[in-house]
A = this chain, B = another copy of it.
Amino acid sequence: MSGNSFGKLFTVTSFGESHGPALGCIIDGCPPGLELSEADMQRDLDRRKPGTSRHTTQRREADEVRILSGVFEGKTTGTPIGLLIENTDQRSKDYSKISEQFRPAHADYTYMHKYGVRDYRGGGRSSARETAMRVAAGAVARKFLEQRLGIRIRGYLSQLGPIKAEKLDWDQVHQNPFFCPDADKVPEMEAYMDALRKEGDSIGARINVVADGVPPGLGEPIFDRLDADLAHALMSINAVKGVEIGAGFDCIDQKGTEHRDEMTPEGFLSNNAGGVLGGISSGQPIVASIALKPTSSLRLSGRSIDVNGDPCEVITTGRHDPCVGIRATPIAEAMMAIVLMDHYLRHRGQNADVSVSTPVIGQL
């Protein structure tokens, strides 16, 4: 299986470049009988869509997804689901300059060395444009998980550059263009982004994702632990440089007595584990956090080299997100949904007939 597929029983395979005719994906392994329509995916796609506020790229894509197979009379049939999004706003511009230069911190240089050729129009395959299909596929997983198992997956921006959210009010997350759960910080974020845009610079961000209602038992040690697959999925999102589960890097100076989540018949007393013990879900909320680097497409000139290895100065024009983290919330949610879905099916395949007398305890 080559690098554009993810998942072993719920398998998402994707194609498409930023400025090609279309993006698409195939979901193979979705169980039959799930009610599914384009609207289910459109909701999440619209949350990811560019151009919805002045803080994201002004590229405008309808991002209208079409279901081409796998759904019959409104329900999935168990056969592969083909999805397609036509690219509509491929601005015809002169790419001759960028075709000869490598933008610093971009995939230009590495694609050239890997493939010997690259589609330089808008970053081609390395563009975050491909994440649209992740969101569409994730929406299918999410619907199944919600309907059949009562699992709810939600994310939020917990930090934008130096500004940290200090409150987690889920109701606020969709009330502002940042997916920020702390309403008090939104004005500060807006001012920060406005200044940044003027400067021409960009900034990093942190996104947290939480899944509630996950049953215990998901995860396939020793290599396909649930947290390992989550790390894989989340690190595969463009611009992500770090992944934490539960306490994450804070565990370094925690003592064992502090870190360990004690258990009572009423539930776990804390969740430093982030819902995963020994690579298997514990019934607590699954908690992950990711770091997204600042966009590298800047109009501020940077030193680089051209295809001949000669030095040059690169300025990136065009429409870019000054903080890619802002739009990453639905993408991270989607990847978590895909991982949980895949692991649910794998677990069911191997352990469907397991019965356990020990009661499930949740989070206190």
Chain A positions 224-243 with a Cβ under 8 Å from a chain B Cβ = 224-225, 227-236, 238, 240-243
Pairs across A and B, CB under 8 Å, 29 listed: A3-B28, A4-B79, A5-B28, A13-B26, A24-B26, A31-B353, A69-B125, A72-B117, A78-B350, A78-B351, A79-B125, A102-B263, A105-B256, A109-B263, A111-B280, A116-B354, A223-B233, A227-B240, A228-B232, A232-B232, A241-B247, A244-B249, A256-B298, A259-B293, A260-B294, A264-B303, A264-B311, A265-B311, A348-B349
Contact indicator B21/A11 (Cβ below 8 Å): no
CA distance A110 to B78 in the complex (A): 13
CA distance A69 to B127 in the complex (A): 13
Question: CB < 8 Å: which of B21, B242, B348 contacts A352?
Answer: B348
Taking A224-B236, A241-B247, A259-B294 as known contacts, 14 extra A-B pairs with beta carbons closer than 8 A to each other, sorted by chain A number, are A3-B222, A3-B225, A8-B8, A13-B80, A15-B26, A21-B68, A79-B119, A105-B277, A107-B277, A110-B217, A110-B219, A114-B280, A201-B255, A260-B302
CA distance A3 to B228 in the complex (A): 11
Complex interface: chain B residues within 8 A of A261 (CB): 104-105
Contact indicator B8/A204 (Cβ below 8 Å): no
Query: Is A173 in contact with chain B by the CB < 8 A criterion?
Result: no
CA distance A11 to B28 in the complex (A): 14
Query: Is A274 in contact with chain B by the CB < 8 A criterion?
Result: yes
- Chain A 301-342 against B: per-residue CB contact (8 Å), 1 yes, 0 no? 011110111110000000000000000000000000000000
Complex interface: chain B residues within 8 A of A220 (CB): 2-4
Closest to A133 in B: B222
Complex interface: chain B residues within 8 A of A222 (CB): 3-4, 14, 125, 130, 236
Stretch of A40-48, A49-57, A174-182, A356-364 contacting B (4+ beta carbons < 8 Å)? A356-364
CA distance A196 to B256 in the complex (A): 10
Q: A256-B201, A309-B265 are in contact. Are A5 and B223 (CB under 8 A)?
A: yes
Query: Is A39 in contact with chain B by the CB < 8 A criterion?
Result: no
User: How many residues in A have their beta carbons less than 8 Å from beta carbons of B?
Assistant: 166
Complex interface: chain B residues within 8 A of A37 (CB): none
Q: A117-B78, A231-B235, A253-B162 are in contact. Are A4 and B28 (CB under 8 A)?
A: yes
Contact indicator B263/A104 (Cβ below 8 Å): yes
